[in-house]
Amino acid sequence: MKDRWKSSTVLAGALPALVLGTFATSAAAQDAIRVISHRQPALEYYTEQMVDALPEGRVTIELMPIDKELELASITMSSESDAIDVVYLNDSAFKRFAANGWLEPLDDLWEKYKDEYDLDDFPQSVVDAVSYDGHIYSMPILTNTELFFYRKDVLDEAGIAPPSTMSEYMDAAAELDSPRMAGTIMSLKPVDAALNEAHWYMNAIGDGWFDEDWRPIFNNEAGVEAITMLKEMSEYAPRGFTSHANDESTINLQQGLAAMGLQWFTRAAAMDNPEQSRVVGKIHWVAPPGGGARVANDGFAISKFSSADKEEVFKMLAEAASRESMREGAKFAMPPRLSLLEDPDLAEEFRWYPAARDALESGKPFPAMPDFLDVGEIVTRHILRAVTGEAEVKAALDQAAAETEELLASRGYYDQ
């Protein structure tokens, strides 16, 4: 980043309604382009690139946990307010925002600037991932996948190979669990973190979430087996795992408080950060045992209700997503550009890249429905009831399936 340009970055922790009031007032006074985003290393980097793309004071950034960010964006855009110009959206949230008509179509600007910013370097699968109903709505910023993090020194000392199946994972977690170090991390904070963890189990052990007609199958025999194993695995997780998301699990790995577990690619570099990590060089990675962990293509979208110059905003996003920017950002996230995905130097420079490529091959995205996050609110609530022993696994999943069908029927998913 150019030294003379400084970002205006807020780390939000307050309730979204309170944040919105304060943020809208201050940003409006500056007449700035207002960007809100989830807080994680890759997105901190890319939002800084947006700040760099325009003169000092033109861009303000607000970073927060993803649940607060999506709640704030939903409140703002559902009221058709112009208090937000740019919003970070993961793949599942993107579909809901696009279906609600809250995002600005980018097709004309994409065509106008595709040569200047080499937008054809994005694979068609990535462009499809940021498109809805035939229109592009988001600038792809990162391809993310979940990896299996593990303490190589700890597993080597115990004579345990990195697990390749869920049963091997369970056995390793049980053997390594101790009062000093949990056998595995586990992120079950509702909704996003818990849904990510459950998604892995539902694919690696279960049959997935839905049949071809969007009828729930997560409560069938295989689904019950999957969540039963999740419950059993929780015995080897750190205390408080039901309130842990990515930040908490990252810290548990960095501080040597857990031996292994599922975590995002974007958290890999933090393991080797000597200012934060006590396990520099000790964490290694493989594709998640059993496959089926989440793969996501995320990006930044322009609010339909923004009063900013949308062409200027688009160019700001394109600068942040340029090949040069993404080459530098590759230490934080897998860049969704063909020229970089095929760069052998990246695999040599960043030791977690080979595992990430394997994980991309075996991973699965969330179901392609705009309402999946709403389904996730239902499902994770009942999964947590099962994991904590409040309800039997089968009964909890049956209740979740019934409520899911009721929701989807009310939204027109099924023929009457």
Where does 240-392 have alpha helices with state H? Answer: 246-254, 310-320, 323-329, 338-341, 344-349, 353-362, 372-387
> Does residue 23 have a pLDDT over 70?
no
> Does residue 344 have a pLDDT over 70?
yes
Q: What is the pLDDT of residue 327?
A: 95
Q: Give me the half-sphere count of Cα atoms (radius 13 Å) on the Cβ side of residue 171.
A: 12
Each residue's pLDDT tens digit, 80-119: 999 999 999 998 899 999 999 999 999 999 999 999 999 9
| Cβ atoms < 10 Å from Cβ of 214 | 18
- Residue by residue, DSSP assigns 175-228 as HH--SSSBS------TTHHHHHHHHHHHHHTS--SB-TTS-B-TTSHHHHHHHH
Min mean pLDDT across 27-31, 182-186, 239-243, 286-290 is at 27-31
The pairs formed by 153-158 with CB atoms below 8 angstroms and a separation of 24 or more are 153/282, 154/181, 154/259, 154/282, 155/259, 155/260
Each residue's pLDDT tens digit, 302-322: 999 999 999 999 999 999 999
> Does residue 21 have a pLDDT over 70?
no
* Residue 11: band (very low, low, confident or very high) from pLDDT cuts 50, 70, 90: very low
Q: What is the pLDDT of residue 357?
A: 82
Distance, CA of 39 to CA of 18 (rounded, Å): 18
| Contact of 209 with 222, CB cutoff 8 Å | no
Each residue's pLDDT tens digit, 225-239: 999 999 999 999 999
Each residue's pLDDT tens digit, 39-89: 989 999 999 999 999 999 999 999 999 989 999 999 999 999 999 999 999
Domains and CATH numbers, the chain: 8-144+296-362 (3.40.190.10), 146-294+367-410 (3.40.190.10)
Q: What is the pLDDT of residue 416?
A: 64
Handedness of CA 110, 319, 49, 27 (dihedral sign): negative
